Structure 1
Amino acid sequence: MEETSAEGRGMGPLPYDISGIALLYIEDESEARSMVSKMLAMNYPKLKLYEAENGAVGLEIYRKYLPEMVMTDINMPVMDGISMSRAIKAINPEANIIAVTAHSDTSYLLNAIEIGIHHYILKPINYQELFSITDKILEQIVLKRLLAEQNRRLVESERQLAGAQRIAHLGSWQLDLPAGSMKWSDELYRIFGIEPASIPPAYQAFLDKFVPDDRKTVEKAIEDAERSRQPVAARFCHILRPDGSLRTLQIEVDVILTGAGVPATIIGTSHDVTDLKQAEEKVHILTEELERRVVQRTSLLQASVKELETFSYFVSHDLRAPVARLEGLCRALLEDCGSCGNDGCKVYAERAERVVRQIKQIIDAFN
């Protein structure tokens, strides 16, 4: 944001929003106080103005409203501007105070500089100078507000990132190549099984967290990223926590280059996938057991089918000849019963013939 003087902006609107900013003006002469207040209100319509007739009243108003700016006369009854400013600085060392003084107030002016008042205006007030100083202070206040808001958002983003990493069991780290120093996220400490910031995040300490067989894998991933200046594919490694538990990490590595294309920082993530790997192993075991059972059931089913085929062959072939002979006997019996005139014999012979026909139908169904 460029500094803009009252003259440079033609007494028009400020190029930034000053809504919510307040100014406290202390002056014991009522006419002068009224005139200056009107000029300030005309030039800064969004600026909240408070007025006081002496330092004691001004200090009371400041304690109540904590305005960002204070403009005060020096030589006043009850409490002078220097005493009031000293009390305000004790409340808020960052308070922006403009001292309004006459040419003869040299001793007061030196005291003002001593307590941290860096802006002053000589009487009679030159409004162009007043507006120029006010513009400068307002711009500083707005810039501080923007910086504070950016810092707040940054802190909130970091808090959300830390929360997301904790939920996902995803730790992050970065290695400054020129300095050889490292930074670990809080979640990386927790993945390693130690409290955040409990040990310095050194490179060798980072490597020592991995089991001996995997340290070379991690080193090679970092070296490959630095040499190729490209991200490195994910690799699986293992760490041994202080409590003796073995954890599986998925390591991903990338590189940040300088403007000249030189590797400057290695960044990486360490994702604790132990639970996922254990779940995959359980699924693998269950799948193998299911396949074993399927093979076993298939074998039993095949045996049953074989037995059924044997039985079907027996029914359809071995029983056909005896049933045919039985059918012939039934016909002969019917003929004999018809010639002898015995109705009871004929009834039983007909029943036997029907049963034989049913057996033949069953045998035919197996073909």
Structure 2
Amino acid sequence: MESMLQHLYHSVLQDKVLLLIDDEPMNLDMLAVYLKKYPVKILVAWDGKSGLDKAQRAHPDLILLDIMMPEIDGFETCRMLKTRVDTRDIPVIFMTALTDIEHKVRAFQAGAVDYITKPLQQEEVLARIVTHVRLHHLNEQLEQKVRERTNELVRTNQRLQQEISERQQAEEALRESEARFRRLAENAKDMIYRMLLPEGRYEYISPAAADLSGYMPEEWYANPELIRTIIHPDWQTYFAFQWEKLLQGDLPPEYEYQIIHKSGDIKWVNQRNVLIRDTENKPIALEGIVTDITARKQAEEEVHRLNVELEQRVHERTAELEVANNELQSFAYIVSHDLKAPLRAIAKLSQWLLEDYGSAFDAQGQDMVNLLISRVKRLDNLIDGILEYSRIGRVDSHLESIDLNQLLPEVIDSMTPPPNIQIAIASELPLILGDTTRIQQIFANLIGNAMKFMDKPRGIITISCEDAGADWRFSVVDNGPGIDPKYHDKIFQIFQTLQPRDEFESTGIGLTIVKKIVELYGGKIWVESTIGQGSTFYFTVPKKSESF
């Protein structure tokens, strides 16, 4: 038993600090000698003031305090210890020869945990010291656990408050969301609904049902079969088929059908659906929007009717154009045969007249015959131009890959430019798909016009091409007289010339032919020019064109 107590005392007092406050050295020496047998640190103070200082610095695990001391007695010293934050929790045991109840009560009122009477009994003192050190240690552990538990409870409470606040906010947001949805649904022109499955009972019907079907929401709630009664007979089989698919979880996102309004009117509706499933993937509800599309259907029917009429008109117009085209071909034949033949005869007779009887004419007579010959030639060229213009787009072209680097020099050589006009190709030219004759006509007309109207002693004509994305953009530039901007559109019109025909022989068809060929290939042509500064004719040819 003794060894067990000694073991307990050693374990409790291990590394503990005891403060002894007494003005009697003998008491201090006795206690110090006795306690040195244990693993405890002993501090001593001779009066209350030094005891307070050491307690504040060392913060001992227990204080043994004498009552009867000079200056500051034990009661006052204990009260001062208990008023200080850093010493108030240190247990204090009074040591005194005073044994009356009044002094004991004062000791406990001052904050002591125990009271030992003198003369001191070593075993009693040791037992009380060990008991209160152990109790103090247990109290500290308990307080630590209480603090930890309190902190945990505070944190838990904060989390709960946060969760409660978040839940309240979520509930408020949900209420606001439901209110917004209800306002939207209540004011929507489309009928919004939610139907419970498989019973087919409506859980919600928006007020728009009244305009759409003629039946109030209350009538829909009271009669789940109402939808079946208003389906148009032509759509009953379709609707029954879709209902069976719905119960199996298969539903198209939307479909259109006809209903019979309460007034008897037939309406077209579009229904968009969302199938709601439970955690086992079974259909539990159907949510959707039903829109009145009667006006749209009527418009579609009107468009279809107009399309049929338009197709009929196109067919009739095509037939008329085919007749006109045939007539045009006949006219072209008449022009080329019946008109050109007399012209050739007139030209030949005029030439013979000038050759055989020219010496009989005076100067005025010869001028008149020459004028007749030139007018016949002009008329012949005009007829050729009209025929050529009429053939473009009507006579099938032979499409082939054309190397403009080879074709363009041949066109230039064939035109025999005069010595004072220089024609240059300023860039590499592309390969294009087209009809060789038509492409030759484009360049020949543009280059020929630049040569014909050149007014400079040294004329320069430059041809170039650049990549314009989906197109090739060609340009024919000259340093000739230029063209007034107000005539930039007029020159592409048939029979339009800017110079008197007696000064410059021209039919006024060349640029019209060029424009028609370019547009036939899906391109564009335009001119940029300023009077006295020359002209630049641009035209584009698509790199890939369905027109080809």
TM-score (norm 2): 0.38
1:351 counterpart = 2:495: no
1:160 counterpart = 2:181: no
Match of 1:323 in 2: 343
Shift of 1:256: 3.7
Q: Which has the higher contact order (CA 8 A, sep 6+)?
A: 1
Distance 2:292 2:233 in 1: 18
2:231 match: secondary structure: coil
Distance 2:259 2:170 in 1: 44
Distance 2:244 2:179 in 1: 32
Match of 1:191 in 2: 212
Distance 1:148 1:328 in 2: 106
- Using the TM superposition, name which of 193-202 and 353-362 deviates more: 193-202
Match of 2:158 in 1: 14
1:212 counterpart = 2:233: yes
1:59-109 C-alpha deviation (Å, 9 max, x unpaired): xxxxxxxxxxxxxxxxxxxxxxxxxxxxxxxxxxxxxxxxxxxxxxxxxxx
Structure 1 residues 287, 344: closer, same or farther in 2, change over 3 A?
A: same
Structure 1 residues 318, 15: closer, same or farther in 2, change over 3 A?
A: same
Contact 1:222 1:266 in 2 (8 A): no
Shift of 1:206: 1.9
Structure 1 residues 339, 191: closer, same or farther in 2, change over 3 A?
A: same
Distance 2:182 2:197 in 1: 20
Match of 2:303 in 1: 283
Match of 2:247 in 1: 226
1:197 match: secondary structure: helix
Structure 1 residues 224, 254: closer, same or farther in 2, change over 3 A?
A: farther
Contact 1:173 1:269 in 2 (8 A): no
In structure 1, runs of 5+ residues without a counterpart are 1-5, 19-137
Shift of 1:174: 0.7
Distance 1:361 1:143 in 2: 95
Match of 1:41 in 2: none
Shift of 1:144: 6.3
Structure 1 residues 185, 340: closer, same or farther in 2, change over 3 A?
A: same
Shift of 1:251: 3.5
Distance 1:226 1:295 in 2: 50
Shift of 1:210: 1.4
Which amino acid in 2 is paired with 1:153?
S
2:214 match: secondary structure: coil
Which amino acid in 1 is paired with 2:178?
L
Superposed, 1:249-288 pairs within 5 Å as 249-252=269-272, 255-288=275-308
Shift of 1:238: 1.0
Contact 2:191 2:205 in 1 (8 A): no
Which amino acid in 2 is paired with 1:14?
Q
Which amino acid in 1 is paired with 2:158?
L
Structure 1 residues 341, 318: closer, same or farther in 2, change over 3 A?
A: closer
Which amino acid in 2 is paired with 1:172?
Y
1:340 counterpart = 2:368: no
Superposed, 1:1-367 pairs within 5 Å as 10-11=153-154, 14-16=158-160, 147-163=171-187, 166-167=188-189, 169-177=190-198, 179-186=199-206, 187-198=208-219, 200-227=221-248, 229-232=249-252, 234-252=254-272, 255-365=275-385, 366=387
1:264-313 C-alpha deviation (Å, 9 max, x unpaired): 33444433222222232233233333333433443333333322222221
Structure 1 residues 152, 326: closer, same or farther in 2, change over 3 A?
A: closer
1:199-245 C-alpha deviation (Å, 9 max, x unpaired): 53422112112123323322221111213x22236332211112232
Shift of 1:247: 0.8
Distance 2:362 2:180 in 1: 110
TM-score (norm 1): 0.54
Which amino acid in 2 is paired with 1:355?
R
1:281 match: secondary structure: helix
Shift of 1:248: 0.8
Match of 1:85 in 2: none
Distance 2:233 2:293 in 1: 19
Structure 1 residues 338, 188: closer, same or farther in 2, change over 3 A?
A: same
Distance 1:153 1:254 in 2: 19
The higher radius of gyration belongs to: 2
Contact 2:194 2:285 in 1 (8 A): no
Identity of aligned residues (%): 22
2:254 match: secondary structure: strand
Shift of 1:343: 4.1
Contact 2:276 2:283 in 1 (8 A): yes
Distance 1:147 1:359 in 2: 94
Contact 1:252 1:268 in 2 (8 A): yes
Aligned length: 237
Which amino acid in 1 is paired with 2:192?
G
1:200 match: secondary structure: helix
Contact 1:175 1:265 in 2 (8 A): yes
Contact 2:268 2:294 in 1 (8 A): yes
